[in-house]
Amino acid sequence: MLSVLLVLTAQSLPSDNAEAGLKARCRQLIAYYDRYGLTRSAHSDGRRNLTRLGAEVDCRNGLYAEGIATMEKLMRNKNFTVPPQAPDEPDLDE
């Protein structure tokens, strides 16, 4: 019984590669927003955007999927094109 539970638990845990890919995607989206979300106007929120800051906190705390979803929504709301996953990141759809 214990061995079955251990096998099921091991299968449900994300692999290190998947977690590393999610972490890298979080960093990619935040860096992209930081680079292109800034303007020289007085009304630019850039890195001070509370949604962006919340996504960064999620990513730091290992809540990568939540951080990614937040950043993608923020970018779409600001009429950004969400960048594709970087080529060195694992494909998360597999």
What is the reported pTM?
0.70
The pLDDT tens digits for 27-46 are 999 999 988 877 666 556 66
Buried b / exposed e over 73-82, threshold 16 CB at 10 Å, is ebbeeeebee
Reported confidence tier of residue 7, pLDDT bands at 50, 70, 90: very low
pLDDT of residue 13: 54
The pLDDT tens digits for 51-78 are 999 999 999 999 999 999 999 999 998 8
Residue linked to tokens 């009304």:
43
